[in-house]
Structure 1
Amino acid sequence: MKIIAVTDDKMEHSQLLDTLLAIEPFIDAAILREKSKMDSEIIALIRQLIEAGFDSTKLIVHGRTNVASITGINKVQLPGYGEPLTLLKKKFPAISFGRSVHSYGEAETAYKEGADWILYGHLFETSSKVGLPPRGTNELFQIVESLPIPIYAIGGIQPHHLPQLNQGGVAGIAVMSSIFGSDNPEVATTAYKDANHVTTS
């Protein structure tokens, strides 16, 4: 399974840059989900990451297709709302798009509109979704069985959940709070990588 780190929009620029560079060897991708930052700040972050040796193929821009296009990043994670996916794919044919969904119906619609992958959540209780009941894995596994594109899971996922998700055919996990809310993001990320190695070996 792939391990995707999702930034939490709580770090200032230099701290975020340092953290991403530190965890890069242990992740398969990073979604830059910095909603409060301006496009110019995201562009500067991407360029600095690449200059510092971050593998650009691991970068996924959240929501801002124009930023991805300007910086040469070819993956965008779309929220469950916004510009129609069919229009985006016509406008930016070189970019692959994922869609965040919260139900089987939303996943099916995203697939029909041309999503290249789907991110489903939230699975378990998480500090970023206080008061919202977790969705668990049943519907997730139904989506995995029904749709022929990679399905990723997000929301409260801990290293001990990886065997269960791997058995369900999930393509990977996305982790936000457990990494970027940690006192030591590098150690936290390593725990997922080690659990994944045991699960898939």
Structure 2
Amino acid sequence: MFRIICVTNRKLCAGDFFARLAEICEGGADYVILREKDLNAEEYAKLAESALAVCGKRLVLHGPSALPLLRRVPRVHLPLSVFENSPEARERAELLGVSVHSPEEAKRAESLGADYVTAGHIFDTSCKSGVPGRGRGFLRETAASVRIPVYAIGGISAENAAAVREAGAAGACVMSGLMSCQDARAELEALRRALA
């Protein structure tokens, strides 16, 4: 099954952040990665507790601030460098994803025990303004380099979701498309229709 994963950025959110998370979960997103890098550990923990009440088992924590919270939420997504420095996270997490930017990094994450990797950014996106996307060839090469699922990230929309699946992605991560749209349920429906 091709997974649709929301990656949060509350600063892009149209309206109430938690109401948006509820829409995204009700709309059928497989996971919600709580990626709020500007918060300190205490602020992140508080936000994570509120997000957990909305998202339940769909919630995946992100980054080093997530590590102390793994007993409460045993699903985490880490930069490769953080995982390399905190390998004990593998034993404490039920689900562990890693961000990678090359096939070599994907292989390294897999060797350390990652359950999946996100590879990107694939297409040009306002979240990485001025930095060109790595493209479908990069995605194809990364997906072919590992046995674990590779989820595409960066500029994914209903218009190109089928193309990333054809390039070998097992799913797609969407940030701005789900955070800033007027109707998250409609956005998710459009993504699913494009993949039907």
Q: CA RMSD in A?
A: 2.3
**1:141–1:169 contact (8 Å) kept in structure 2:** yes
How does 1:93-172 map onto structure 2 within 5 Å? 93-172=92-171
1:65 aligned partner: 66
Q: 1:118-152 deviations in whole A, cap 9, x for unaligned?
A: 10000001001111111001121122223110110
2:177 aligned partner: 178
| 2:47 counterpart letter in structure 1 | L
Q: Distance in 1 between matches of 2:165 and 2:184?
A: 23
**1:5–1:27 contact (8 Å) kept in structure 2:** yes
**1:178–1:188 contact (8 Å) kept in structure 2:** yes
**2:119–2:139 contact (8 Å) kept in structure 1:** yes
| 2:144 counterpart letter in structure 1 | E
| 1:61 counterpart letter in structure 2 | L
Percent identity at matched positions?
Answer: 32
Offset, 1:2: 0.3
Q: Distance in 2 between matches of 1:85 and 1:3?
A: 28
Q: Distance in 2 between matches of 1:184 and 1:141?
A: 31
SS of aligned partner of 1:159:
coil
Offset, 1:84: 1.5
Q: 1:60-86 deviations in whole A, cap 9, x for unaligned?
A: 10113334324x212111124335266
| 1:33 counterpart letter in structure 2 | R
**1:119–1:154 contact (8 Å) kept in structure 2:** yes
Q: Distance in 1 between matches of 2:68 and 2:33?
A: 13
Q: Give the number of aligned pairs.
A: 192
Q: TM-score, normalised by structure 1?
A: 0.84
Q: TM-score, normalised by structure 2?
A: 0.86
SS of aligned partner of 1:34:
coil
1:24 aligned partner: 25
**1:27–1:193 contact (8 Å) kept in structure 2:** no
After superposing the two structures, state which structure 1 stretch, 38-47 or 105-114, moved more: 38-47
1:194 aligned partner: 193
Structure 1: which 5+ runs fail to align? none
Offset, 1:117: 0.8
Q: Distance in 2 between matches of 1:67 and 1:184?
A: 34
1:74 aligned partner: 74
